[in-house]
Copies of this chain bind each other. A is one copy, B any other.
Amino acid sequence: MASLQDIGVGAGINLLSALMFLLAFAILRLQPVNDRVYFPKWYLKGIRASPRKAGAFMNKFVNMDFRTYIRFLNWMPAALRMPEPELIEHAGLDSAVYIRIYILGLKIFVPIAILAFAILVPINWTGKNLDNITDLTFSDIDKLSISNIPPGSPRFWAHLTMAYVFTLWTLYILYKEYDIVSTMRLRFLASEKRRPDQYTVLVRNVPPDPDESVSRHVDHFFCVNHPGHYLSHQVVYNANKLADLVEKKKVYQNWLTYYHTKYERNPKTKPTIKTGFWGLWGKKVDAIEYYTAEIQKLGIEERSEREKVISDTNAIVPAAFVSFKSRWGAAVCAQTQQSRNPTIWLTEWAPEPRDVYWNNLAIPYVELSVRRLLMAVALFFLTFFFMIPIAFVQSLASIKGITKVLPFLKPLIERGGVKSFIQGFLPGIALKIFLIFLPSILMTMSRVEGLSSLSSIEKRTAAKYHLFLIVNVFFGSIIAGAAFEQLQRFLNESPSEIPRTIGVAIPMKATFFITYIMVDGWAGIAAEILRLVPLVIFHLKNTFLVRTEKDREQAMDPGSLNYSQTEPRIQLYFLVGLVYAVITPILLPFIIVFFAFSYLVFRHQIINVYDRKYESGASFWPDVHRRIIIGLIISQLLFMGLLSTKGAARSTPLLLVLPVLTIWFHRFCKGRFESAFRAFPLQDAMVKDTLERATNPTFNLKAYLQDAYVHPIFKSVESEEPLDPDDEDNNPIVATKRNSRLGSQSGSKPGSRGAQEDV
C-alpha cells in the first residue's frame, strides 16, 4: 500500500505531465498554422478569418510574438469570462448544461469535503486502531480513513451522522439542479426561433394499404383525425444505398486529390496503386487514371440509384414526417395515441432534421422488440464476459500461442527484444484495443436497437457504457478478478454478504482510486485540450488533400462533445467520491481538482472547438440525475456493509432508511421534472403560437416546412456536383437552391452529415 509520500510523488508526476500538456497546448495554439485545430468553432461561425492571409510569410506559420508566450495560461480566465446566457447562445443548451455537471460535482463535493475534513478526519486520526498493527498493508492514508476506528467504537456514530448529512446535502443539490436545468430547458425551448421540428411529428409504422401509397395513406389519416391542424407531410426514402455510394465517391475523390498533389510535387514518376485488397496486392495501375475512371463509374451508378429511389414506390419506407399548422397541433399529435393498435401510427416529437438517424426509420414493431432483446442479452455478455475473448486473444498473442499457430516465426520470436515485447506488451495491447473500440461497439449496439435519432442513440450508448464502467472499473477494481468471476461469486453469496465483502475491500482501494483519478482525470483531461489526434490529422489532410480554401474548411474537424463516453466517466468520479466521502475523505480533494480542472477545459473546448451534431435541449439531464442517484445508493449499501463488519451491525436499520429515502426522492423528482424533458406542454405551445400569429400573420409555413425533412443526401448533392437543372426541377423532393439555403439555416451542415452515416 502506498504511503502519503508515494501519493505525493504520484500527484507530482501527474501534475507535471498535466502541466506539460498544458504548456504544449499553450505553445501550439498560438501558432497560426494550428489555428483551425484549436479554434474551429469560430471558423464555423464565420467570425474568425484565416490568419494566413495577412502578415509576413513566417508569421503565417509560426507565432513570433514572444510576449504572448508568457501568459501561457491566459486561456483559463478567457474560458470563464463568457456568461452562461451567451454560452447557451454560442454553443447551445446541450453544451452549456453538460459543463454544469462539473459544477454540480463541485457543489456536491466541496461542502462535503470541508465537513469531512473538519469532523471525520480528526476522528479517524485519533482512532488508534492501526497503531498496534505493524502490518505493512496499512499506511498513513489508512490512518485518516475509517479503518483506523476500532470495531464497535461509538465513534461510528459520527460516520453514520455524516452519511445522513452527505446524502441529504446531495439530494438537496440534485433537486435544486434539476429545477434549474428544467427551467433552463423550458426557457430555451420558449426562446427558440422557428424551427421545423416544432411543427413536426415523426410517424413510424404506417400500416400498409393495398389501395393507397404511403403518402396518400398518411395524408388521409391525418386529414381525418387531425382536421384543422394537419398541414403537410414528407415521406421518407430509403436512401441508404445511395448514401453509401456518395460516401464512397467522396473517399475516391480524396484519393484522387492526394495522387494529383503527389504527382504535381514529383512530376517524374506517375503514382501507381495495386487494385487488390487494401492496395496490398493485385495489378499495378496508374493511380490518377484508375480513380478518375472509378469516380466516373460511381457517378453514373449514383445517378441511376438516385432516380430509382425517387421513382420507385418501394423505396418509400412506412414512416413519414407530418407537419401541423401550429405547435399546439404538433404537440397534441406527438403526445396522443392515434390508432387502436398501439404498434401502428406511432407518433413522437420529430428530432431536429440533422438529428434524424435515417437508417432506422423503417423498422417494424416486432423486429424492434426482437432487436432490443438481442442487444440486452449481448450487453449482459459484453459486460460480464468480455474478459473471455480477450483472454483468448491474449493467449494467442503469447509466445506459445504464436509459435503454435505460425511455427515458421519461431526463430524470429525467440530473439531477446522481440520476446520481451511480446510477453510484456502484446497482452496489454489486446485489452487496450478492446477498450478503445468499446465505445464504438456500444454505439453500434445502440444503433441496432433501432432508435430514430442520434441524440437518443448517444444517450442509450451512455447508459450501456455506464453499466460497463461500474461493473468492470469500479467493482472490478475493488474485487480483483474478471466480471464473470464476480458474478459467479455474487450468485453464491448471500445478498447481505455482498455489501460486506465489498465494503471491507473499499478502504484498502483508496490509493488505487487516487492514482486513477490523477492519471485518468488530471493528465487525461489535459491531453483532451491538446487535441493531438485532430492536430495530426488536420496537418496530414492539409498537406495532401487541401487545394482550395473550401477544402481546408472541410479538413477542419471540430469534433463534438462526446457525450456517450465522457458522461459515464464523470459518473464514475461521482460514484467514487460518494463512496469514499465517509470512508476515506482524503480522496475528496483529488475529485474536486478533477471537477474544477475539467470544468475549465471543457468550457474552453465548448467555446473554441466543439461543434454540435444536434441540439437536444439538455434532454439528457434525467439520465445524469438518475446515475448520480444510482451512485448514491451504491455508496449507501457499501457503507452499510462496511459498518456491519465493524461491529456496528445495529446501525443497519438506521442506514436502510437512506436508500429507501433516496429511491423515493428519485421517484419524486421524476414526477416533478421529467416530463419537462419528454413532452412539450400545451400551454407553452399555445403561447408561442399566439405570439407568432400576432407578429407574423402572413408567414408561409407550408413552404418553410416543405423540404425540411428531406434526406440529407438529396440536399448536399449540390455542393458536390450540380445535377442537370432540368432533372432537378422535375423532382420536387430534390432540394432546389432555395431549399438548400433553408437546410443550412436549420443547421444541416454537410460536415454534420458524415456522423450520421459512419455506422
Contacts and interface: CB of A to CB of B under 8 A. Distances in A.
Interface string A359-372: 00000011001001
Interface stretch (A310-318, A334-342, A413-421, A465-473): A334-342
Contacts of A660: 373, 377
Nearest to A657: B377
* A interface, size bucket: 35 or more
B340 A336 contact: no
Given A335-B335, A491-B496, A682-B337, A369 B675 contact: no
Interface in A639-674: 660, 664, 667-668, 671-674
B339 A671 contact: no
Contacts of A340: 186, 676, 681, 683-684
Nearest to A660: B377
Contact of A676 (B342, B365, B369, B676): B342
A493 B491 contact: no
Given A221-B683, A342-B673, A343-B672, 14 more contacts: A224-B683, A224-B686, A336-B682, A337-B682, A339-B683, A342-B674, A343-B671, A345-B683, A365-B672, A490-B494, A491-B496, A492-B497, A494-B495, A494-B497
A3 interface: no
Contacts of A225: 682-683, 686
A532 interface: no
A675 B337 contact: yes
A683 B494 contact: no
Contacts of A680: 337
Given A331-B336, A335-B336, A492-B496, A664 B373 contact: yes
A332 interface: yes
Max count, chain B CB within 10 A of own CB: residue among A228, A337, A338, A673: A337
Interface string A365-391: 110010011001100000000000000
Max count, chain B CB within 10 A of own CB: residue among A221, A336, A668, A676: A336
A493 to B, nearest CB: 5
Interface string A676-698: 10011111101000000000000
Contact of A668 (B335, B369, B667, B673): B369
A668 B376 CA distance: 14
Interface in A69-84: none
A372 B667 CA distance: 10
A209 to B, nearest CB: 14
Contacts of A369: 664, 667-668, 671
Nearest to A678: B337
29 contacts: A228-B228, A332-B336, A335-B335, A335-B336, A335-B337, A336-B336, A336-B679, A336-B681, A336-B682, A337-B680, A338-B683, A339-B683, A340-B681, A342-B672, A342-B673, A342-B675, A342-B676, A365-B671, A366-B668, A369-B664, A369-B667, A376-B664, A490-B494, A491-B494, A492-B494, A492-B496, A492-B497, A494-B494, A494-B495
Contacts of A342: 671-676, 681
A673 B674 CA distance: 25
Interface in A26-75: none
Interface string A212-250: 000000000100111010000000000000000000000
Contacts of A674: 342
Contacts of A686: 224-225
A335 B679 CA distance: 11
Contacts of A339: 681, 683
A337 to B, nearest CB: 4
Contacts of A492: 494, 496-497
Given A492-B497, A497-B494, A682 B331 contact: no
- Identify the 9 closest CB pairs spanning chains A and B, nearest first: A342-B675, A491-B496, A337-B679, A335-B336, A373-B664, A492-B494, A340-B681, A337-B681, A369-B668
A499 to B, nearest CB: 11
A191 to B, nearest CB: 13
Interface in A119-143: none
Contacts of A672: 342-343, 365
Contacts of A365: 671-672
Nearest to A493: B494
Interface in A486-540: 490-497
A367 B206 CA distance: 43
Contacts of A221: 683
A84 B168 CA distance: 57
A467 to B, nearest CB: 17
Contacts of A335: 335-337
A531 to B, nearest CB: 39
Contacts of A343: 671-672
Contacts of A373: 660, 664
Nearest to A684: B340
A125 to B, nearest CB: 35
A667 B674 CA distance: 22
